[in-house]
Amino acid sequence: MNILLLGSGGREHAMARSFAKSKRLNQLYIAPGNAGTSQHGTNISLDILDFDIIKSWSQDKKIDMIIVGPEAPLVKGIYDVIKGDEATKHIAVIGPSSDGAMLEGSKSFAKKFMSEFNIPTASYLEVTKDNLEEGINYLSNNVGPYVLKADGLAAGKGVLIIDDTQEAINSLKVMLAGQFGQASATVVIEQFLDGIEFSVFALTDGKDYVILPVAKDYKRIGEGDTGLNTGGMGAVSPPPFVTDKLMQKVENRIVKPTIEGISKRGFDYVGFVFIGLIKVNNEPYVIEYNCRMGDPETEVVFPRIQSDVVDLMEAASRGTLEQVQIDINPLTAAAIMLVSGGYPEAYQKEKFVTNIPTTYNSIIFHAGTKMEDEKIMTNGGRVIAITSFGEDHKVALDSAKKIAEEIQFEGKYYRKDIGFDL
């Protein structure tokens, strides 16, 4: 198979590494990729939101399958464009149609979906400028913390958690007035859920599914889960608190009804459903849906998948997932993310990255890097994820930490406490 993988983060490096191991692979291209993906395939500089260019390029290169890493091309409708053209509709697309991608693209859409299919989640109220008074009353009649979510995509910044009632009311007004542009013209106010979060991933063909390894991601920049939200500073798979009993509840109450809902709504959905969950008193609730894999979760999830991932993707695209058994490495994988000083606020790029070790027990996944004159340079906030394995998360994290200390670039920062709450 000739495969085109879209994206440029640690997630895409982890996917590229797994695809490159497949006996089924002929050519792997990554657009635009990074200094790490080029170890497993050919990086191509294509604009991943320019679907006309992607279509004509894919025809030229006889691409059989397009795998979409990030959400933006999905929400914008890459599936619909590729499948809607006679010349490219034979190409398998891993990632849902734009209507399925609304599960991530609109919080209010996702809330209505969960309510229709009885999927446990926080209670909520949808507010626009037309029912602002109702929103203010809702906040006044409930106690904090208040959760305010911009309805649309806001680069991971659209969720505010506020303790004070008056401050929440002010924030609601500011959001509706365009704090996150069109994305916050509608705001979802949610009941605050207090618990521990984890991420479940299902690969679906739109009617059946396989559950991939479960993970926990660490989103805050500071140790002890403090400070600003980031894309993710580290991950562990599996987190030990996710017992078989809890996973059974997740599968019966959440994964099954979600896939049934997708099928009943008639979405063309071949791809990943990423379910962000929170455990409250041993019961799982959905915090959010995403229509793609997580980052850095993929850096711990994919290395644990021992089955041929191209076979898995092909089964999803052919609608034969029902027959698939997935083979998972029982060891724990843990990832630590090295980031540029200042991230997630302003940071500098183009710093040389040195001392990258070659070790058999750990994997170095590039995120924000690029190659210049045979040298690796930083090219983003999240720079490198180090994934190590162990009998448990402590052993895995100890080896990842050793490498985190070794790798050097100016301004390097990482959390030394990943896994602190496990």
Interacting residues toward ligand AMP by CB under 6 A:
122, 147, 149, 159, 190, 192-193, 197, 219, 276, 287-288
Name 254's Cβ contacts closer than 8 Å, sequence gap at least 6: 119, 120, 200, 275, 277, 284, 286
> Which of the choices ligand GLY, ligand AMP, none does residue 299 contact, using the CB cut-off of 5 to 8 A by kind?
none
Residue 141 CB, nearest approach to ligand AMP (Å): 17
In angstroms, what is the minimal distance from the CB of 370 to ligand AMP? 28
Between 159 and 324, CB nearer to ligand AMP: 159
Residue closer to ligand GLY, measured from CB, 208 or 295: 295
Nearer to ligand GLY, 199 or 340 (CB): 199
With beta carbons less than 8 A apart as the criterion, state whether 235 and 216 touch: yes
**Which element (helix H / strand E) includes 59?**
helix 51-60
Q: Phi and psi at residue 258, in whole multiples of 5°?
A: -65, -45
* Smaller CB separation from ligand GLY, 294 or 381: 294
159 binds, options ligand AMP, ligand GLY, none, Cβ within 5 to 8 A by partner type:
ligand AMP
Q: How far apart are CA 4 and CA 280, in angstroms?
A: 40
C-beta of 41 vs 232, nearer to ligand AMP = 232
Strands 216-217 and 234-237, bridge-based pairing: antiparallel
In sequence order, which residues have a C-beta less than 8 Å from that of residue 164 and are 6 or more positions away? 144
Selection from 272, 218, 310 nearest residue 71 by Cα: 272
Q: Which residues contact ligand GLY by CB under 6 A?
A: 217, 232, 290, 294-295, 297
Q: Identify what 193 binds: ligand AMP, ligand GLY, none; CB under 5 to 8 Å per kind.
A: ligand AMP
Distance CA 54, CA 120 (A): 39
* Contact partners, residue 84, CB within 8 Å, separation at least 6: none
Q: Which is nearer to ligand AMP, 66 or 110 (CB)?
A: 110
Residue 403, Cα to own-chain centre: how many angstroms?
A: 24
* Strand extents, DSSP E, 65-155: 65-68, 92-94, 124-127, 146-150
Nearer to ligand AMP, 38 or 229 (CB): 229
Q: Compute the least distance from the CB of residue 374 to ligand AMP, in Å.
A: 39
For residues 347 and 354, give the distance between their C-alpha atoms in angstroms, rounded to a whole number: 19
Helix spans in 77-122 (H): 78-83, 98-105, 107-116
Least distance in Å: CB of 292 to ligand AMP? 13
Partner touching 10 among ligand GLY, ligand AMP, none, CB below 5 to 8 Å by kind = none
Of the two residues 193 and 328, which places its CB atom closer to ligand AMP in the complex?
Answer: 193
Q: Is the dihedral of CA 128, 130, 136, 137 positive or negative?
A: negative
For residue 294, the partner it binds in ligand AMP, ligand GLY, none, with Cβ less than 5 to 8 A by kind, is: ligand GLY
Q: Least distance to ligand GLY from the beta carbon of 20, Å?
A: 22
CB of 194 to ligand GLY, least distance (A): 20
Smallest distance, ligand GLY to C-beta of residue 274, A = 7
Q: How far is the CB of 65 from ligand AMP (least distance, A)?
A: 29
Selection from ligand AMP, ligand GLY, none that 208 binds (CB < 5 to 8 A by kind) is: none
φ/ψ region of 141 (left if φ > 0, alpha if ψ in -120 to 50, else beta) reads alpha
- From CA 190, how far away is CA 114, in angstroms rounded? 13
* Partner from ligand GLY, ligand AMP, none binding residue 288, C-beta < 5-8 Å depending on class: ligand AMP
